Amino acid sequence: MKWISRPAMFFLKNFPAVNEREQGAISMKQSTKPLSTNDYCIKWFAIRWLDEIKYELKSSSLAKYQNIVNLYIIPYLGKEKLVDFSRNKINEFSSTLLSSGGVHEKGLSPSTVNSILTVLKRILDFAAQQTGRPSVCFRNVRINARKPTATILRRSEQCRLWKYLFENLSPRNLGIILSMSFGLRIGEICALRWKDINFEEETLCITRTLMRKQTFSNSGKKTEVVVSTLKSSFSERKIPLTPEITEVLIQQQCADEAYILTGNVSRYIEPRALTNHFKKTLQICKIRDVKFHTLRHTFATYWIEMGYDIKSLSEILGHSSVNVTLNYYIHPSMESKRRDVSDFSKKVFSRKGK
């Protein structure tokens, strides 16, 4: 058992094996001979898949996969034998999650179920690779999820918020200003240090994110705050500053290693605390309650409405392609729709009258 990693031991300890053989005396990592599948169940492969991928993923992604395996794959499918597993089991699993999944057994959202199915597919593919058995077909196994309508700030709300922030400059308000100005993610703002700003070039470098993630250690701590690299090379970017923002930054400037939101080298503000500050600011400005991420959507939407370059926007937001920007962050406002419909109608009817 010495070869089994700590994450694997965590799950073996919390989910007792069906039998001794399930715990495994054979290492899966460099197996050249196909395993016999008669006695191996989904839990056995799920544990070893997690152990296999732990060095390939960021800690936040690994924690997400561990949660899915811990909360859904093992409790619902853990005792299912691989040799008996079929597409019907997947359909039954999906239906159960949609109707009664979750802590309160009220059912999970389609998007959450799709995430769980993605992990299940990877586990089954891993099992197929190790055993030589064909993997269960996942073709067309996807829950149709309706994309929720994103909220953006109205022009009047944006102006009120902008005016308040500049009249009440503080490190935290500066963070909100940066998100409004460049569409930064909340974790990116929390991780910013003054050394990320080049005042000579008037640029802002985004290279890190700060988040609170779950831990699976034996220390008793359930979560911890980590500063990590961004999820992809596209997310790392250099953004040009405007003269107005540069002037504000100069007023607030601190030591290079200090966090922008605190002015302190060792003290940071995590996303939850900045979110709470943002909500209080909305109340002061008498603006409806919206998520912090709304600032990112608002920035992208108005950028496009004003006719600026979509490729530049995509790079400022840190997207891998223009399509990502168009599909997820462009939400025409009602004012924009009304203007376009009115302009279209005038042109169409004027032609008919000629």
330 against 204, higher pLDDT: 204
β-bridge partners, 204: 197, 239
Pair 216, 7: CB distance under 8 Å: yes
Spatial CA neighbour of 206 closest among 226, 225, 190: 190
pLDDT, tens digit, 9 for 90 and up, residues 331-349: 666 667 777 777 777 777 7
Residue 249 has pLDDT above 70, yes or no: yes
Q: 327 to each of 141, 150, 323, how far by Cα in Å?
A: 22, 11, 6
Predicted pLDDT of residue 132? 84
Q: Where do the CATH 1.10.150 domains begin and end in the chain?
A: 6-131
Average pLDDT in the 37-48 region?
Answer: 84
Q: 309 to each of 163, 178, 299, 304, 332, how far by Cα in Å?
A: 27, 20, 13, 7, 16
Pair 282, 289: CB distance under 8 Å: yes
Q: Name residue 84's amino acid.
A: D
333 against 57, higher pLDDT: 57
Spatial CA neighbour of 269 closest among 193, 211, 190, 213: 190
For tokens 């530049």, the residue is 312
Q: 11 to each of 2, 4, 42, 48, how far by Cα in Å?
A: 15, 11, 13, 10
1 against 319, higher pLDDT: 319
CATH number of 155-295: 1.10.443.10
Spatial CA neighbour of 12 closest among 175, 268, 298, 20: 20
- Residue 254, exposed/middle/buried by CB under 10 A (0-12, 13-18, 19+)? middle
Tokens of 352: 């008919």
Query: CA torsion, points 62, 67, 73, 79, in degrees to nearest 10?
Result: 100
Q: Where do the CATH 1.10.443.10 domains begin and end in the chain?
A: 155-295
For tokens 């169409």, the residue is 348
Predicted pLDDT of residue 57? 80
Tokens of 42: 């989904």
In this prediction, what percent of the chain has a pLDDT beyond 70? 81
Predicted pLDDT of residue 37? 55
Predicted pLDDT of residue 145? 64
pLDDT, tens digit, 9 for 90 and up, residues 105-141: 888 988 899 899 999 999 999 998 888 888 877 776 6
**DSSP secondary structure string, 287-325?**
-----TTHHHHHHHHHHHHTT--HHHHHHHHT-SSHHHH
Domain 6-131 maps to which CATH number in 1.10.3470, 1.20.58, 1.10.15, 1.10.150?
1.10.150
